[in-house]
Amino acid sequence: GRTVTEADNIQFTLLTNNTNQIHFNRHYGEKTEFGSTLVNSALTLAIVAGMGVPDVSENGFALGWDEITLPHPVFPGDTLYSESEVVEKRESKSRPTQGIVKVETRGYTQDGDLVIKYRRSVMVWKREHAPSRDIFPTPKA
């Protein structure tokens, strides 16, 4: 899991030029139906997607994102968890050493609330063509 701090949220919101007060003005947030500031939904997407990289796309690259839904808000202090499931796979028509995998990813809070769900397509290497993952340098004697 990854706990989203208020500092994470403010920094990401300002970095992406999002001026919606709900993300960084506590006084404003307390007056809304949520009673608090909300985590920027693009940050929620970034964290949940990042959690899936080791399992889904570490040596691949994204081709597209679809069907992004945000059924429940995320608040500063929530801890996010991610799970991904392969829903489609096929060979690449233009790259014979690679394939295309479509996954559905779901993000949850520590309380089990579904906060984000989306599908993404990723170009991945076929096993026999994958580049070496041995990126750790060899120590000198």
134 within a domain of the structure (yes/no): no
89 within a domain of the structure (yes/no): yes
Please state, for a pLDDT cut of 90, what percent of the chain lies above it. Answer: 74
Please state, in angstroms and rounded to a whole number, the distance separating the CA atoms of residues 37 and 52: 26
Contact 84, 103 (CB under 8 A): yes
Assign residue 19 the CATH number of its domain: 3.10.129.10
97 within a domain of the structure (yes/no): yes
Domain extent for 100: 2-127
pTM here?
A: 0.84
Please state, in angstroms and rounded to a whole number, the distance separating the CA atoms of residues 117 and 74: 13
137 within a domain of the structure (yes/no): no
pLDDT tens track for 54-99 = 777 767 888 999 999 999 999 999 999 999 999 999 999 999 989 9
135 within a domain of the structure (yes/no): no
- pLDDT value of residue 134: 66
21 within a domain of the structure (yes/no): yes
Contact 97, 74 (CB under 8 A): no
Q: Work out whether strand 98-109 and strand 61-69 pair parallel, antiparallel, or are unpaired.
A: unpaired
Amino acid residing at 135: I
Give the number of domains in the chain: 1
